[in-house]
Structures are given as C-alpha cells and as structure tokens.
Structure 1
C-alpha cells in the first residue's frame, strides 16, 4: 500500500513540476476592451496608504480615493515585503472593475514597469 501511495505522489510531483497542469488564468487577468481601463497607484493599504486594518492587503488609489482590492492577492506579484513588494513601495497598475461596498472588485489587474 505504501508503494502505491509513493508512486502516486511521485507522479503527481513530476506532473506538477513539468507543467502538466491545466492553464487556469485567474479572472482578474483578463482585459475587457469594453470596460474603462484605469491607471492607478497600487500598494499595501495599511503599510503605505494609511488605511484601517492590521493585515497587509492590496489596495489602490483611484481618483484620490483609496480602496482595498478584491480579486488579486497582495502576494500574487511577488512577496509583499520583498525589495519591490507592495508593503515597501507604491507601484503603478492598470485595473478594471467596479466599486462594491467601498472595495474595488477587480476584473483586470496588471502592474506597470
């Protein structure tokens, strides 16, 4: 029984490492040419935008208002506390989405260089 479990685990690991996993692109990476595309400042809401909360969470500044972002995670674009992470720097991003209950629900989120 142990041999079967080890065999299945090794093939699962090999499949994952070789990329035999379906390409599931997160919904917030799909640009909709019909929606407005905004260029915003993006960073950690509590570390750089002085927003309420004790947890590091991705936020944007859109038209001089600050919103926490639903969809992409703060660590989806590298470690939040790394040299260029959202907790250390404010970055520019292109976003699409809607404001719902004082949160920005992103349908598209792309960091700019």
Structure 2
C-alpha cells in the first residue's frame, strides 16, 4: 500500500508542476507595447489600468500603476496612445507580474 501512495504522491506533484509551468512564463528585458488595457487593448475591466502586449496578447500589469508613468489621460498618456517599454517579470495566470518596466523614448 505504501508503494501505491508513493506513486500517487509523485504523480500529483508532477501534475502540479506541469500546471504551474503552463500558467507561468518568464519575461526578461523584452520590448513590448504598453498602454491602458481598457482604452487601447480593449481588455475588459472597471477602470483605466496598465497593460502590456506581449507577442500579440495583452495582459493587465500587477506591481506597477498606470499613474506611475504620468497622466494617463494626457495627450500622449496611456489612455490615448500605445508606447514601447522594456519589461522584466512573469506572466502568471494571464496577468503580467512586473519586476521592472522601463519606458522607451517615443520615435518621431
């Protein structure tokens, strides 16, 4: 009976690890689009919230606030324009957990 329990435990741990791997993706120093998720990326939400678009998919950002980067509703703010940023963090459960966001200069 102990052998059966040991095999079950290993199988359960392997499934948990596989599930975590499937829902987590590390991002390191990647240039992405950054803007308001609701206004620019058409994500469903309740207010203006920071989001990034990575490889064509938009994610709300955790760990940074839209207002940390200036007036979101200004002429070139995130609600009115998509900018570029270099980001580091991880995608977890369909959200981007930001460790670092560095806005890049706008090209004119």
Report the structure, 1 or 2, having the larger helix content: 2
1:90 equivalent in alignment to 2:97: no
Tell me how many residue pairs correspond in the alignment.
79
CA deviation profile, 1:63-84 (whole Å, cap 9, x unmatched): 1111000111001010110111
Instruction: Identify the residue that residue 73 of structure 2 maps to in structure 1.
Output: 81
Instruction: Identify the residue that residue 98 of structure 2 maps to in structure 1.
Output: 106
Secondary structure at the aligned position of 1:89 is classed as coil
Instruction: Identify the residue that residue 60 of structure 1 maps to in structure 2.
Output: 52
* Residue 54 (structure 1) shift: 2.4
Report the structure, 1 or 2, having the larger strand content: 2
1:49 equivalent in alignment to 2:49: no
CA RMSD across the alignment: 1.0
Match of 1:72 among 59, 64, 67: 64
* Residue 90 (structure 1) shift: 0.2
Q: Gaps spanning 5+ residues in structure 2: where? A: 1-26
Q: Which portions of structure 1, spanning 4 or more consecutive aligned residues, are displaced by more than 6 angstroms?
A: none
* Residue 92 (structure 1) shift: 0.2
Q: Gaps spanning 5+ residues in structure 1: where? A: 1-34
